[in-house]
């Protein structure tokens, strides 16, 4: 199965920001450093020159990848949707069999971030929750064994912690 081509507006802004920073800030800075290093003479033993050229190739490769990826991506509008099914971009609160809760946001593979609770729609958990209804129960095979979950909340905005 290939990688999904969906992304949230926030994810697209992040990718576009990375592309802009690489192209308008990082690449010109490294190009200046390479030019300065080249002026110092023998390039075959010039570590700054060799590293700079390597870094330019890395930047150019990433810029090409980001430009192509941006062309392939479809931004999915999120918000003002029914909160009875888990759709792309939604925040979903799950309860496991130990009654512990976890909150995830279902996003595209280019923007997943475990530290934020952003879960790729292509991951096993992402595939398991997409399209499910509020209060629906499901099981998922994990590396440490099978686990049961129940969907206890679905929202288009990040749920707030504590009292409202």
Predicted confidence (pLDDT) per residue in 111-120, tens digit: 999 999 999 9
The 10 Å Cβ neighbour count of residue 45 is 8
pTM over 0.85: no
Give a yes or no: residue 86 inside a domain.
Answer: no
Structural domain containing residue 147:
91-155
The pLDDT, as a whole number, for residue 161 is 60
Least confident stretch, 44-53, 68-77, 146-155: 44-53
Assigned domain for 62 exists? yes
Let me know whether 11 and 69 are in one domain. Answer: yes
CATH of the domain at 146: 3.10.50.30
Note the pLDDT tens digit of each residue in 7-31: 999 999 999 999 999 999 999 999 9
**Domain end call among 75, 108, 130:** 75
Give 49-92 pLDDT, tens digit per residue.
999 999 999 999 999 999 999 999 999 988 766 678 999 999 99
How many angstroms separate the CA atoms of 83 and 47, rounded? 57
SS3 144: coil
* DSSP H or E run through 65: helix 47-72
Report the C-alpha gap between 56 and 22 in whole angstroms.
Answer: 10
Residues 93 and 152 sit within 8 Å (Cβ to Cβ)? yes
* Residues 65 and 27 grouped into a single domain: yes
Residues 69, 145: contact at Cβ < 8 Å?
Answer: no
Number of domains, the chain: 2
Tell me, yes or no, whether 103 and 132 share the same domain.
yes
Residue 66, helix vs strand vs coil: helix
């Amino acid at each position: 199965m290939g990688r999904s081509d969906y992304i949230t507006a926030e994810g697209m802004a992040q990718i576009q920001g990375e592309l802009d920073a690489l192209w308008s800030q990082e690449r010109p800075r490294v190009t200046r450093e390479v030019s300065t290093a080249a002026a110092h003479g023998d390039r075959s033993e010039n570590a700054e020159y060799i590293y700079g050229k390597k870094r330019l190739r890395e930047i150019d490769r990433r810029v090409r990848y980001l430009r192509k990826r941006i062309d392939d991506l479809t931004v999915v509008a999120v918000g003002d949707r029914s909160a009875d099914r888990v759709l792309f971009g939604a925040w979903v609160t799950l309860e496991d069999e130990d009654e512990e809760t976890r909150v995830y946001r279902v996003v595209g593979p280019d923007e997943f971030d475990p530290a934020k609770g952003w879960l790729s729609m292509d991951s096993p958990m992402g595939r398991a929750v997409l399209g499910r209804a509020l209060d629906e129960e499901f099981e998922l095979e994990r590396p440490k064994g099978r686990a049961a979950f129940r969907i206890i909340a679905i929202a288009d905005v990040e749920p707030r912690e504590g009292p409202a």
